[in-house]
Chain A
Amino acid sequence: MGITQSLFWFLSVLALVAALMVLLSKNPVHSVLWLIVVFFAISGHYILLNAQFLAIVNLIVYAGAIMVLFLFVIMLMNPNTETEPRKNFLVQIAGIVAGGCLLTVFISLVKQASEMNNKTALLKTGNIGLIGNLGKALFSDFVVPFEISSVLFLSAMVGAVVIGKKN
Chain B
Amino acid sequence: MPIQYYIYLALTLFTIGIIGVLTRRNAIIIFMCIELMLNAVNLLLVAFSKMHNGIALVTNKDSMVGIDAQLFVFFIMVVAAAEVSVGLAIIVMMYRNTHSIDVNFLNRLKN
* In the complex, residue of chain B having the shortest beta-carbon distance to the beta carbon of A60: B77
Residue from A8, A54, A152 in contact with B5 in the complex, judged by beta carbons closer than 8 Å? A8
Contacts of A54 in B (CB 8 A): 42, 46, 70, 73-74
Residues of the B chain whose Cβ atoms lie less than 8 Å from the Cβ of A77: 92, 95, 101
* SS class, residues of chain B in contact with chain A: helix
Bound Cα distance from A46 to B42, whole angstroms: 10
Q: How many residues of A contact B (CB 8 A)?
A: 83
Distance of A49 Cα from B33 Cα, bound (Å): 24
The CA-CA distance from A142 to B39 in the complex, in Å, is 22
Q: How far is the CA of A156 from the CA of B24 in the complex (A)?
A: 27
A69-B57 in contact given A19-B13, A54-B74 (Cβ < 8 Å): no
CA of A101 to CA of B34 in the docked complex: distance in angstroms?
Answer: 19
| Chain A min CB distance to B5 (Å) | 7
Q: Mark A115-145, 1 if CB is under 8 A from B, else 0.
A: 0100111110011110001100110011001
B1 touches A123 (CB 8 A): yes
Residues of chain B having any CB pair with chain A under 8 Å: 1-9, 11-13, 15-20, 22-26, 28-29, 31-33, 35-36, 39, 42-43, 46-51, 53-55, 57, 62, 64-68, 70-71, 73-75, 77-86, 88-93, 95-96, 101-102, 104
